[in-house]
Structure 1
Amino acid sequence: MLTMRIVARAADLPASDPDEAADLAEAELTALLDLLYRLAPGDWIRPTACARWTVHDVVAHVLGQVEEAVHPGKTLLRIVRGRHRHPELDRLDARNECQVDDYRGLPGPVLVDRLARFRQRLAPAIRRRPRLLGVVRVPAPSRRLRPGYLDDAVFPRELWMHRADVAAATSRPFVVDGHDRRIIEQAVRDLGRSWTGPPVVLRLTGTVDAAWLLGHGDPVGTVHVDAVRYLRALAGRERRPGLRVEGDDRLRSLATAARIPF
């Protein structure tokens, strides 16, 4: 279990810079590969919490994401292709489906081998990304996300979440170590910055032990919840994360309904 000190306000947690984001992404890719090497042949066709996607589809998507991080030009190509192949989806989701399409015919172990080839190249690629991209917005219906934010905050925790998806789908243990703490902190930071409900103490339990204040002022209660289950709820993966609420019972619905980008 990762034990962390109580932090006053979630919104005041420091944001990841490009160097830390690169380190987190590399550590998370390593953790994902360790999990994938342990999959049995039958695991690849198991359904996941991602709509329509099997374990194979999730890993194909991750391979596409990592490939684009190393070769950014492929992102634009898939966005353009996605408009034609999947016009019913927004740009980001259509691009994601193109990633899955590109690798659908490859056996699972081949996906893992290709993913492993990027392990040493991922962090340097993230560090050399032009930070000018941080002021440009990516248009998508209902979502306007800065590429700098996508690189530094969302990308490492997206890899983390997909590792959790694969672990849950295949009944494999979800292993945490030191890098998980900062990924969790970045998710909590974004939750704190977007929280519009009354002030509340969020107490994470299970694989981590930490507490933060969401909102301003004296808290009206405390929400206790398993860290991994709650981040999955923030990503829309889990509808009933098992919250235990002390104080104002409105906090249960507010905390369950909260979402952040993954």
Structure 2
Amino acid sequence: MTVHPSLQPYVDAWTHSIEAISELVVPLTEGEWNRATPCPGWSVRDVVSHIIGIETEMLGDPRPIHTLPRDLRHVVDEFTRYMEVQVDVRRHHTAPEMTSELEYTVIRRSRQLRNEKRDPSTMVRGPLGDQVTLELATRLRAFDVWIHEQDLRTALGVPGNLDSPGAHVARDLLLAGLPKVVAKEAGAPAGSAVVLDVHGPLEFMRTVRVDAEGRGTMDGTPSLGPAVTLVMDWETYVRLAAGRVRPHAVADRVKTEGDEELADAILRHFAVTP
């Protein structure tokens, strides 16, 4: 157990998801590693490569020196270029090479997390080399591996763990971006409220309220007269908020009530992950 209780839920969630990923990929045939996932441009191999790469960076390993091909359509900005290096450098690795590196990386990272002595407020390296607190970095890793676990499950046709510890971390992180989506991106009018009602393995209701200055805040109390109510299942919410699917592709799984134009604008900007 880590020294700091505030880190433990994220370590537990990370451990649960990373072990699930290992169990999913160990028995795969070479061809199954090439299956497309909902993560744009990435195969099963690519998703696992990304996980290995980021975890090794958290361990302090140097990033590979590697030049990306110019024909990768999903690489569109500095963030995607940064993330793609760890992926492309492993693109021709065999199944045994992938599973061996994943296993070794998980062992090293598990040991690092188990022996963590730093204060949660310690600044550490985050995405793109920026500095974030250790607590946020650990939380983001728990979120990332759960989201990618779901990518792999979708690609391999093995659903599961939609209510695991990582799912709860993902719920809170994805919801944190909802006020900006409603108030800024979709332009909900001042004084309005938007209700999100999610059912399934994780059930919750949240209301985003837009104040007179156009700022959005969120709470768990219902609104008596919301401008828009969005009703969907948990899996659909995750896929939309994580940018894994376009709204039109899941229109039959999303029920909207109220201002149709505003509802469409919210759904167009619903993705909150990079």
Report the TM-score range of the alignment, normalised by the length of the smaller protein: 0.7 to 0.9
Secondary structure of the equivalent of 1:238? coil
**Aligned twin of 2:255:** 244
Would you say the 8 A contact 1:22–1:122 is kept in 2?
A: no
1:68 aligns with 2:53: no
Would you say the 8 A contact 2:14–2:166 is kept in 1?
A: no
Q: State the Cα RMSD in Å.
A: 3.3
Q: When the two structures are superposed, what TM-score results if normalisation uses the length of structure 2?
A: 0.71
Report the structure, 1 or 2, having the larger helix content.
1
Evaluate the alpha carbon distance shift between residue 146 and residue 232 of structure 1 in structure 2; reply closer, same or farther with a 3 A threshold.
farther
Would you say the 8 A contact 1:37–1:112 is kept in 2?
A: yes
Secondary structure of the equivalent of 1:56? helix
**Aligned twin of 1:23:** 12
Matched AA of 2:254? L
> How far did residue 92 of structure 1 move?
3.3
Render the CA deviation track for 1:93-121: whole Å, top value 9, x for unaligned.
22322211332232124312321233344
Evaluate the alpha carbon distance shift between residue 63 and residue 104 of structure 1 in structure 2; reply closer, same or farther with a 3 A threshold.
same
Q: When the two structures are superposed, what TM-score results if normalisation uses the length of structure 1?
A: 0.74
Would you say the 8 A contact 1:223–1:252 is kept in 2?
A: no
Alignment of 1:185-224 (within 5 A): 185-195=171-181, 196=183, 197=188, 198-215=192-209, 216=217, 218=223, 219-224=226-231
Evaluate the alpha carbon distance shift between residue 38 and residue 221 of structure 1 in structure 2; reply closer, same or farther with a 3 A threshold.
farther
Q: Could you list the runs of 5+ residues in structure 1 that have no partner in the other structure?
A: 1-15
Question: C-alpha distance in 1, partners of 2:135/2:267?
Answer: 23
Matched AA of 1:18? L
Evaluate the alpha carbon distance shift between residue 108 and residue 185 of structure 1 in structure 2; reply closer, same or farther with a 3 A threshold.
same
Would you say the 8 A contact 1:17–1:152 is kept in 2?
A: no
Secondary structure of the equivalent of 1:230? helix
What is the percentage of aligned positions where both structures have the same residue? 21
Matched AA of 1:105? H
Would you say the 8 A contact 1:222–1:247 is kept in 2?
A: yes
**Aligned twin of 1:94:** 81
Matched AA of 1:30? E
Evaluate the alpha carbon distance shift between residue 133 and residue 245 of structure 1 in structure 2; reply closer, same or farther with a 3 A threshold.
same
Asked which structure has the greater CA Rg, the reply is 2
Would you say the 8 A contact 1:202–1:211 is kept in 2?
A: yes
Q: Could you list the runs of 5+ residues in structure 2 that have no partner in the other structure?
A: 210-216
**Larger RCO (CA within 8 A; separation ≥ 6):** 1
> How far did residue 138 of structure 1 move?
6.2
